[in-house]
Amino acid sequence: MNLVLFDLDNTLLAGDSDYEWGQFLISKGAVDRAHYEAKNHAFYEDYKVGRLDIHAFLAFALRPLVTHARAQLDAWHAEYMATRICPMIPQAARDLVRRHLADADLVAIITATNSFVTAPIAREFGIPHLIATDPEEIGGHFTGEVSGTPCFREGKVTRIEQFLAERGTTLERLDDSWFYSDSHNDLPLLERVRHPVAVDPDPTLRAHAEAHDWPVISLRG
């Protein structure tokens, strides 16, 4: 069995879907501009330098899912997909995904961004599996809490191990495994697969990839 994993933000996308969702909500007047924009920017900077408190961030990021009706959220998301996400998908990313879908047994996006935001993006790519941070839902309503392990840093390793265990295998027993990512935050999982690939990497990941002779590619053209 072959496995191919893609990080989403700044890997398959030429931008960050979580950050852009926050900016989109600001543009719709769904959240307070001054407060939310400052917090959104600060968390994004923390993520880039590797000091993000994932639980603090999720408490912030999931709050709008609680305060707005699901029908309104879904309508906003459709507009967000059209105006923010589809323009951030490079053709090279679509082509890479298509090649792997033709050859691999399992293809998945694995991302820290919550599944409400990312499930439609996975569908846009035609990728059948999504491993993401799952917002808790009770009775069809979001609670603002996280269900299970956040899919971030070492949490990505935990989540992929759970995903594979449900299919009766492990990373070590796979015939082949690939993971494409831009971020040093993904080093715990990159170091577990047979073919780690740095995609438009941040400086820390680029240095690590070059030191370990990992492929470094760009999907941005």
Q: How far apart are the first and last CA of the chain?
A: 31
Closest CA to 126 of 99, 146, 150, 151: 99
Active site residue 182: no
Distance between CA atoms of 86 and 81, rounded to whole angstroms? Answer: 6
Amino acid at 184: H
Angstrom CA distances, 45 to 51, 79, 104, 158, 184, stand at 9, 26, 35, 25, 14
Angle between helices 17-27 and 33-49 (to 10 degrees): 170
Active site residue 9: yes
Other CB atoms within a 10 A radius of the CB of residue 103 amount to: 11
> How far is CA 211 from its chain centroid?
25
Please spell the DSSP secondary structure of 149-181, one letter per residue.
Answer: S--STHHHHHHHHHHHHTTT--TTTSSEEEEEE
Amino acid at 165: A
Active-site choice (7, 16, 18, 182): 7
Q: What is the DSSP letter of 109?
A: E
List residues with catalytic annotation: 7, 9
